[in-house]
């Protein structure tokens, strides 16, 4: 099977559902003696599972079922991964200050090369969202996602919002993709998805071309 991002190389590797660095930041490094517990009940393509023991951050349990190619999973999207690794760390370590301020400036989050780093963080979530669309066969055209990722340009219909969402337990993960039930020409008009690491939530929103951008959380 060809990789959905580049559409040229053989899809042989699997992307993490939740970034390994986010899991490591929250839980440390798991081991067979000190495993993580993985639960999934929302992803359509996954069989329901609860508290599956995971002894390594490289475990396939933590990854999407479908595959992308090695180049897209490593060299092509690594700058996007690093941008989120930095963004996640900074946002989580400044929660109390951010709650007082209510917002942050991009050049606070990325003091150097701000515009490019913000773009890369946007592309990290564009990649994950695209993987979710493919995984769950959601009727949204992934070609603009692939174009954004390969050209390093923003997806003009993807929006991110960051928020504080306290959870009763320490957890990291993603919701199911919420889609507007009304299709036009077989395509979804609006979709959103929530990624969370600890109490930090990232809402990823999509609006089809021609539709108003969605209102954040
Ligand atoms: Zn590829």
Long-range contacts of 174-180 (CB under 8 A, 24+ apart): 174/17, 174/18, 174/128, 174/132, 175/42, 176/42, 176/43, 176/44, 176/136, 177/129, 177/132, 177/133, 177/136, 177/138, 179/138, 179/140
Question: What separation in Å is there between the alpha carbon of 11 and the centre of ligand 1?
Answer: 7
Distance from residue 129's CA to the centre of ligand 1 (Å): 16
pLDDT confidence of residue 47? 52
Do 171 and 40 touch, CB atoms closer than 8 A? no
What is the Å distance from ligand 1's center to 119 Cα?
A: 20
pLDDT (0 to 100) of residue 1? 87
What separation in Å is there between the alpha carbon of 121 and the centre of ligand 1?
19
Say which residues have a Cβ less than 8 Å from residue 103's Cβ, sequence separation at least 6. none
Whether 189 and 137 have beta carbons less than 8 Å apart is answered as no
* pLDDT for the residue 111: 97
Tell me the CA–centroid distance for residue 128 and ligand 1, in Å. Answer: 14
Tokens at 197, concatenated: 């690491």
Q: What is the pLDDT of residue 216?
A: 66
- Say how many Å lie between the CA of residue 213 and the centre of ligand 1: 29
Nearest to 83 by CA among 202, 210, 177: 202
Low pLDDT (below 50) residues in the chain: 45
Residue 146: which of 129, 122, 130 has the closest Cα? 130
Q: What is the pLDDT of residues 11-49, one digit of tens each?
A: 988 888 888 888 888 888 888 887 777 766 555 545 556
Predicted local distance difference test score (pLDDT) of residue 50: 66
Q: Provide the pLDDT for residue 89.
A: 95
């Amino acid at each position: 099977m060809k990789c959905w991002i580049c559409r040229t190389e053989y899809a042989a590797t699997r992307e993490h559902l939740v970034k390994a660095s986010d899991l490591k930041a929250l839980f440390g490094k798991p081991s067979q003696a000190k495993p993580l517990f993985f639960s999934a009940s929302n992803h359509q393509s996954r069989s329901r599972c609860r508290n599956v023991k995971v002894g390594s951050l490289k475990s396939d349990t933590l990854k999407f079922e479908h595959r992308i190619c090695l180049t897209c999973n490593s060299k092509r999207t690594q700058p996007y991964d690093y941008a989120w690794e930095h963004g996640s760390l900074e946002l989580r370590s400044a929660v109390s200050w951010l709650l007082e301020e209510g917002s942050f400036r991009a050049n606070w989050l990325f003091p150097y090369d701000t515009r490019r780093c913000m773009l890369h963080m946007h592309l990290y979530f564009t990649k994950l969202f695209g993987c979710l669309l493919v995984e769950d066969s959601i009727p949204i055209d992934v070609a603009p996602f692939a174009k954004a990722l390969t050209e390093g340009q923003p997806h003009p219909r993807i929006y991110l919002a960051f928020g504080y969402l306290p959870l009763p337990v320490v957890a990291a993960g993603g919701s199911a993709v919420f889609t507007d039930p009304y299709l036009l020409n077989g395509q979804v008009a609006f979709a959103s998805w929530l990624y969370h690491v600890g109490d930090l939530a990232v809402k990823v929103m999509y609006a089809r071309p021609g539709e108003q951008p969605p209102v954040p959380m």
